[in-house]
């Protein structure tokens, strides 16, 4: 009888007088998580989302990884939720960080807002537009040149894996001067990839489970960061003027920065920083292989940049980057279709009224990004890869229906860094190399976007007289 009562309460949660959206809470504790992580093989909405929208409408309730969740595929509601950042919602996946960074004497929301403001400021300082213009652009160009030259000597390259290592090496170098020549780069990126892909796994800390391995890998990565921090603190001659050094300099003024929290902070930024960019580049390869006319126009744009220079071998400039109009269309269209995760996660800090429903305080909110980016009312034939569509999209429509890097005040501070990296990569790829798809490239979501068996490419240097 007791267990029957508990199951009834689980399936019929209360809402303090409000009306919960329709839906099902699934099984006790695990909810409907198992259905969410069943693999799908399409860029369309995840079947878990699609089926429930058809059954319950664009707003429904469920339970995932042990938490009650309101899922919204309603563009108006999603836009409203993003506007509530720092007021009635906060980022859910930073819940653990907010506890680490809790400031004595301040409310949870005030402390969280102060920490987020600092993280955004320091990230923009090292990866924002000014830094990109002044020093990062040539460093990215050099890294891409070296990577593609190395790849061209190999029989085939798993692009996703190789791109992850390439982007991690430069990002980690800027964060804490992690050496590019370090032989463990590939192993470290594999750990980060595993953790990223496990973000929505069942939280069962039992040996043999995905979650248990995720925790072990996280512990190993944090140890590298903690050891590096200790070296800097004890040996002033180890200072490099990088991201890590700035956090050390700020420890006195920002009391939430400690020997425990700084590695957590860098770990979180690294986790978010390179994985999605590498996945996007891999998806670009897949699309270019399937759409030769896109590759033709992309190549023409970059060859025109070379022809307009006095010296075709001179480095790329910021003006060159801003002139890559069609390249930006290709990147935007890839990001629109990618939708790496089922949605952005937020946590309700108080009861929120949306449409005819109430989102209870403490519940997680999943904002379904694909509901906006695959909306046929905004994007005709939404599952088609069509970079030319961006010529006719106005800025207001894009601002409300295209959020690859988040929305509201939580938009990723490294967005321009990611787009610049991809644009430079494509410039060097199409002007200096030929490439052929060997095998792979099949889309698989479980529920995070990946590629079954990878995507293997053969690269070869392009002869100077080839057009």
Per-position b or e across 353-370, b if 16+ CB within 10 A of its CB: ebeebbbbeebbbbbbbb
Burial status of residue 316 (CB atoms within 10 A of its CB: 0-12, 13-18, 19 or more): buried
Helices 185-197, 159-176: axis angle to 10 degrees equals 100
177 is in an annotated binding site: no
Per-residue CA distances from 222 to 118, 187, 272 (Å): 21, 14, 15
Helices (H) and strands (E) in the chain, counts: 19, 10
Let me know: does 457 contact 176? Beta carbons within 8 Å: no
Can you tell me the distance from the alpha carbon of 408 to that of 406, in angstroms, rounded to the nearest whole number? 7
Let me know: does 46 contact 36? Beta carbons within 8 Å: yes
- Identify the DSSP state of 388: G
Can you tell me the distance from the alpha carbon of 244 to that of 226, in angstroms, rounded to the nearest whole number? 11
Residue owning tokens 């489970």:
209
Q: Which helix (H) or strand (E) holds 18?
A: none
Residue ranges at the known binding site: 412
Residue ranges at the known binding site for heme: 412
């Amino acid at each position: 009888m007791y267990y029957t009562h508990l199951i009834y309460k689980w399936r019929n949660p209360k809402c303090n007088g409000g009306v919960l959206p329709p839906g099902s809470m699934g099984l006790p504790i695990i909810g409907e998580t198992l259905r969410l992580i069943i693999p799908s093989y399409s860029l369309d909405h995840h079947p878990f989302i699609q089926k429930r929208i058809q059954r319950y409408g664009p707003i429904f309730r469920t339970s995932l990884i042990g938490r009650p969740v309101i899922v919204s595929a309603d563009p108006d509601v999603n836009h409203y939720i993003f506007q509530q950042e720092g007021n009635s919602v906060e980022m859910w996946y930073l819940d653990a960080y907010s506890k680490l960074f809790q400031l004595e004497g301040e409310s949870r929301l005030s402390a969280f807002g102060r920490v987020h403001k600092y993280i955004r400021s320091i990230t923009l300082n090292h990866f924002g537009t000014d830094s990109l213009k002044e020093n990062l652009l040539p460093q990215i160009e050099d890294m891409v040149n070296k990577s593609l030259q190395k790849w061209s000597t190999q029989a085939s390259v798993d692009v996703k894996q190789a791109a992850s290592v390439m982007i991690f090496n430069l990002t980690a170098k800027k964060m804490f001067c992690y050496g590019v020549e370090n032989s463990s780069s590939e192993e470290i990126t594999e750990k980060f990839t595993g953790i990223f892909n496990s973000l929505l796994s069942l939280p069962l800390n039992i040996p043999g489970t995905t979650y248990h391995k995720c925790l072990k890998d996280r512990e190993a990565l944090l140890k590298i960061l903690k050891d590096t921090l200790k070296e800097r603190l004890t040996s002033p001659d180890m200072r490099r003027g990088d991201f890590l050094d700035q956090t050390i300099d700020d420890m006195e003024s920002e009391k939430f920065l400690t020997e425990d929290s700084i590695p957590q902070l860098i770990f979180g930024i690294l986790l978010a920083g390179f994985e999605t960019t590498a996945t996007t580049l891999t998806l670009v390869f897949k699309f270019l292989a399937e759409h030769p006319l896109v590759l033709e126009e992309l190549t023409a744009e970059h060859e025109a940049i070379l022809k307009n220079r006095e010296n075709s071998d001179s480095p790329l400039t910021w003006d060159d980057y801003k002139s890559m109009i069609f390249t930006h269309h290709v990147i935007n269209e890839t990001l629109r279709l990618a939708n790496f995760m089922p949605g952005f996660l937020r946590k309700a800090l108080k009861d929120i009224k949306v449409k005819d429903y109430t989102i209870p305080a403490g519940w997680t909110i999943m904002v379904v990004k694909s509901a906006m980016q695959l909306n046929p009312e905004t994007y005709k034939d939404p599952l088609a890869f069509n970079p030319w569509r961006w010529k006719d999209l106005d800025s207001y429509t894009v601002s409300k229906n295209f959020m690859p890097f988040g929305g509201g005040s939580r938009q990723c501070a490294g967005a321009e860094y990611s787009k610049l990296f991809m644009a430079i990569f494509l410039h060097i790829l199409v002007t200096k190399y030929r490439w052929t798809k060997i095998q792979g490239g099949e889309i698989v979501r479980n529920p995070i976007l990946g590629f079954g068996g990878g995507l293997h490419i053969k690269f070869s240097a392009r002869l100077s007289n080839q057009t």
